[in-house]
Amino acid sequence: MSPQGRSLYAEHIAARQRTTEAALAECGYDALVLSSGAPFTYFADDQEPPFHENGHFAHWVPLRGPHHVLVVRPGTRPRLVRVAPEDYWYEQAPLGSPFWADDFDLQEVGTTDAAWKLGLTGKRVAYIGDETARALAAGIAAEHHNPASLVARLDWERAYKSEYEVACMEEAEKMASWGHRAALAAFDSGASELEIHHAYLAAVRCTEAELPYGTIIGHDEKSAILHYTGKRTKRDGRVLLIDAGARHLGYCSDITRTWTRKDCDSRFPLLARGMDKLQLELCAKVVPGLPYPDLHAAAHVLIGDLLHELGVLKVRGEEAFDEGLTSPFFPHGLGHFLGIQVHDVGGRQKDPTGGILPPPPKSPFLRTTRKIEEHQVFTIEPGCYFIEMLLRPHRNGPKAHCFDWKQIDELAEFGGVRIEDNVHVTAAGQVNLTRPHI
């Protein structure tokens, strides 16, 4: 890592120490223990799913693997215990000299039991993680495991990204852009969904397990399935929707693009280009102080106007949104917080002490309901899909005359469109982390 990157990380750790000390004081704790987490197996099986580190642990240090322990106490350098067992089943990679090592009182042990010799018995200690049996055995009372008041304060702080975190996400954007460009080239050559997936992985230079989430790669009608996970071998799709990201030092990118080929119905590329244009309009509306649900509502109006312009809806955007006519085409939320987790924590949190800001009744799946603030990073991902199960109630409903059903039926075979960028909120508005790369 460059000296500048190393400096950004040192500032990040100093901020973690400062905000965690404040949270501990507010909740009446003397120390906090975090663990990276424990792997688990599927029911009645010996196979483990890919391991993901505890997000609160990863907020401090990009140390991969299970069972590591971090102890945070006010006024002292955090103590990090790395578990490095001798195990001939797996690669034994030495730690080396990672850029983050000097910011911790670092210790390496050979067993998980040794990592939990904390020496904190008798103190008011909180534990956050899933290794509660070990925490209990180490003397941390059960009522102090994952205390809601402390977790809420730490979740709240994770919404405000440090310069180090933004730099990590920018690198993840760059990595994902390699994959998206490779995916587009494969699509243009007639590749199948599975072949496009493989092209994406090769370009990002990672395995599936290293991605922040499974790729969504859908041709034609499959692009209208919001979380489509199939990978068909059929070639020569006319529409490609690809939703795929990358991960750098634990931080995620989350990018979606929709592409069309020349043999696609000429109306669908107009929809895709219109969606790209209105997505940029939504990004430009981002300013501190704007409630995120207001941005979501603006997306519905713009999508309604686009569908009216194309003749799919016979009323304009405002009326279409008011009457609930845009929801069948845009059934998901406009975006979500992004960071260590793809759907990062705190998007609906009311304040640092907890509580929930519920989504609007019209938009129950909106993951971000807070006011937009400086230093947040979130996605903006409007979409428009032709999903029969959502459109069906309107075919014979009181507003059936507001739809051009013939055109809807003709376009349904091409699926849907989604465009997604990741934005960093600044004092002046926002910086689009995605567009410089793709």
pLDDT at residue 55 in the model: 98
Other Cβ atoms closer than 10 A to 354: 14
Q: Which residues of 24-44 are buried (b: 16+ CB within 10 A; e: fewer)?
A: beebebebbbbbbbbeeeeee
Distances from the Cα of 179 to the Cα of 107, 222, 230, angstroms = 37, 20, 18
Q: Which residue reads 């940029």 in tokens?
A: 280
238 DSSP 8-state letter: S
Other Cβ atoms closer than 10 A to 120: 17
**Residue whose C-alpha is closest to residue 229's, from 179, 261, 194, 182:** 194
Instruction: Give backbone dihedrals phi and psi of 301, rounded to 5 degrees, phi first.
Output: -65, -45
What does pTM read for this prediction? Answer: 0.97
The structure tokens listed for 15 are 């901020």
Half-sphere exposure of residue 81: CA atoms within 13 angstroms, side-chain side = 23
Same fold, 3-158 and 163-432: no
pLDDT at residue 210 in the model: 97
Is residue 301 within 8 Å of residue 272, measured between CB atoms? no
Distances from the Cα of 204 to the Cα of 201, 216, 252, 356, angstroms = 5, 15, 13, 37
**Residue whose C-alpha is closest to residue 53's, from 82, 93, 13:** 82
Cα separation, 311 vs 305, whole angstroms: 10
Our measurement of the distance from residue 335's CA atom to the centroid of its chain's CA atoms, rounded to an integer in Å, reads 9
260 strand-pairing partners = 239
Which CATH architecture does the domain made up of 163-432 adopt?
A: Alpha-Beta Complex (3.90)
As averages over each run of 10 residues, the pLDDT of the chain (438 residues) reads: 93 98 98 97 96 98 98 97 93 92 97 93 89 96 97 98 98 98 98 98 97 98 97 97 98 98 94 98 98 98 98 98 98 98 98 98 96 98 98 97 98 98 97 97
Q: Is 141 helix (H, G, I), strand (E, B) or coil?
A: coil
The domains of the chain are located at 3-158, 163-432
**Residue whose C-alpha is closest to residue 385's, from 261, 284, 230, 243:** 243
Q: Is 293 exposed, middle or buried (0-12, 13-18, 19+ CB in 10 A)?
A: buried
Other Cβ atoms closer than 10 A to 371: 14
Residue 139: what residue type?
Answer: G
Which CATH architecture does the domain made up of 3-158 adopt?
A: 3-Layer(aba) Sandwich (3.40)
148: Cβ contacts below 8 Å, ≥ 6 apart: 354
Instruction: Please tell me the total number of residues recorded for the chain in this structure.
Output: 438
Is residue 384 within 8 Å of residue 417, measured between CB atoms? yes
pLDDT at residue 93 in the model: 85
